[in-house]
Structure 1
């Protein structure tokens, strides 16, 4: 007698659904374990890349993001001295809103300006895999009466006013930022720009209400490009400036 095998059809997930399923499995891990697994997974590639730059895990890091270009750049300072060099840049997977600063809770805007991630701002039990709060509203925003909260760099590629990365990318960023914190960096500066700022680029925005603000941000952007260090920032009369 011939026995026929029973065919069982298993639905195949499309790539986005598969990614979401994998992400959901990661979310089942308790926060500390989730972070530990992420660091273990990311460390071999991260340390190899650092070694090629003459740097080590734990060296100071610095982050810049450009909204229009949808790129996030991470820099490292080899040995904690001299110029920062670019470790990598990645596509921003999702970011809501339009060009211009965040002004109010619920406006779905990604902020623009000078922020920073402290050790206390790291969330290993995030609903978005791993997240880090950039510190909006800062003193500049508060002086202008701006409101809002919980603006993050995080995983899961979903955004309502945050900078969302893929889960593998946020694991790399988390590994670098958390190591820098443990080594003594009390705040990882995060500079968020509307786009790569230049006099030519601003010619297309001469009628924008944000022109003066963006011009001030351009000075901050250019200072880093020139000296290779996050500049010291001054705030005077409701405007950013580069100190010294």
Structure 2
């Protein structure tokens, strides 16, 4: 019995196989088109890409070709990597300057492995040192250590110029920057250049920079690098660099013998015209460097003196503040340091005492108090007595006047000049307002005269009349003292 094939199943499988085939064909075409577009647009492998259109236009403007030789100069302090390229005249001209993303260490040459210093000196880059498969996008090896470094015992490996902006003894660029630098070097090799020179300096070798760094221990090494710098600046040609006697020599040819990095240099010959030009340039730069250095030293002295004066002022201020704090810590209250002052001040600061009424010891509390004598009242003046009146003698302070119908105690001691007069029974005339005319009026003024009126006895004060003004003054001072705290 034959199996019958389901027409619906056949129709279903056929379209599925057709769809898969079409998808594979589309993917292949897309990959092919993508590859063609990458080649045409210059976005192929990193090591084969073209330079930027702007850079190519600049080369055309400066009379350069894409395959003309290049030279690279690096300046640490300025963070600059310069690409120079030969123009139609056969001399080098600056094509483009790139800002170094990061370089490692400080100003000065690399000495040993692990010091994380980026190298300084003259290095030769060949096609074998180019690394299209670098872990840092693209890179090329600087060639450190060169003959000079080895002759001076300097060590280190894998010192590169690369991308990724990360440095540990290298010169790091951005990926876009190293892409263009790598392309320019590759095209120069493609044009027939066997190697290009890399010149690495701490800074531009100008008198100003040399004067600023005049005290750096690397100055002898930098002055040696400056000689090659001057050769390039004057000729705009790549200087011929050799090593003998553990130092760089430039554009020199041995007259006898050969050049050996560790051995002493033989007699060397340099083109006379170039030698004279180099000597003149070095002399002018040295004079300018000395002038700038002298000015900088004067400015540094002034700045140092200002700093010293400022430091002295700060020290003096600190000492004064310390002394002030010490005085505050040891200070005693003013009343303790001056005891008498505390006593004087207590009289004014003490609260006033409450005023009390003094009762009459003789007549009781309802009697009128004794009249108070105002010390400012002038002393009484004796006047002539009218007929029938008594006039107390001025020289008898203890005299006693007797009024009819009253008794008076005898004085304690009789004064020689005391005089006692009896009052006439005739009525006394009215007293004159100008002066007292009766004994009763005169008695209160006399200091110790006792007067008896209508059977009432008034005791004489204990003090004499001469002492009464002093008592009045004391009462006045006491009153003022009591009033002072209320103000």
Using the size of structure 2 for normalisation, the TM-score is 0.42
Write the mapping of 1:67-86 to structure 2, written as runs, cut at 5 A: 67-79=76-88, 81-86=89-94
Residue 127 of structure 1 aligns to a residue whose secondary structure is: coil
Written as runs of structure 1 = structure 2, the 5 A alignment for 1:12-23 is none
Tell whether the 8 Å contact from 2:46 to 2:179 is kept in structure 1 after alignment.
no
Q: Write the distance in 1 (CA, Å) between the matches of 2:242 and 2:162.
A: 28
Task: Give the Cα–Cα distance (whole angstroms) in 2 for the partners of residues 65 and 213 of structure 1.
Answer: 16
Structure 2: state its 5+ residue gaps: 1-43, 252-269, 271-487
Take 1:174 and 1:58, find their aligned partners in 2: how far apart are those partners?
Answer: 13
Question: 5 Å matches for 1:72-221?
Answer: 72-79=81-88, 81-221=89-229
Shift of 1:220: 1.1
After superposing on structure 2, the runs of 4+ consecutive aligned residues of structure 1 that deviate more than 3 Å are none
- Cα offset, 1:43, TM superposition: 4.4
Query: SS at the partner of 1:226?
Result: helix
Segments of structure 1 that go 5 or more residues without pairing to the other structure are 1-31
Match of 2:47 in 1: 35
RMSD in angstroms over aligned alpha carbons?
Answer: 1.5
In structure 2, C-alpha distance between the alignment counterparts of 1:223 and 1:78, rounded to whole Å: 18
Paired residues of 2:132 and 2:139 also in contact (CA < 8 A): yes
More helix by share: 2
Q: Distance in 2 between matches of 1:207 and 1:143?
A: 25
Q: Deviations over 1:20-45 (max 9, x none)?
A: xxxxxxxxxxxx92312xx23x3433
Q: 2 CA distance for matches of 1:103 and 1:184?
A: 34
Q: Could you say which structure has the greater relative contact order, defined with CA pairs below 8 angstroms and 6 or more residues apart?
A: 1
Flag the structure with larger Rg: 2
Q: Structure 1: how far apart are the matches of 2:220 and 2:246?
A: 11
**Kept in 2: contact 1:43–1:175 (CA 8 A):** no
Greater strand content: 1
Q: 1:64 touches 1:73 (CA, 8 Å); kept in 2?
A: yes
- Residue 240 (structure 2) aligns with: 232
Deviations 1:32-81 (A, max 9, x none): 92312xx23x34333222111111111000000000111001100024x5
In the alignment, which residue of structure 1 is the partner of 2:355?
none
Deviation at 1:144, TM superposition (A): 0.7
Distance in 2 between the 1:165 and 1:232 partners? 28
Structure 1 partner of 2:431: none
SS of match in other structure, 2:204 = coil
Q: Quote the Cα distance in structure 2 between the aligned partners of 1:124 and 1:74.
A: 19
| Residues in 1 aligned to 2:107 and 2:176: alpha-carbon distance in whole angstroms | 27
Structure 1 residue 200 displacement after superposition = 3.2
Question: Post-superposition shift, 1:231?
Answer: 1.0
Matched residues, number: 209
3-state SS in 2 of match to 1:158: coil
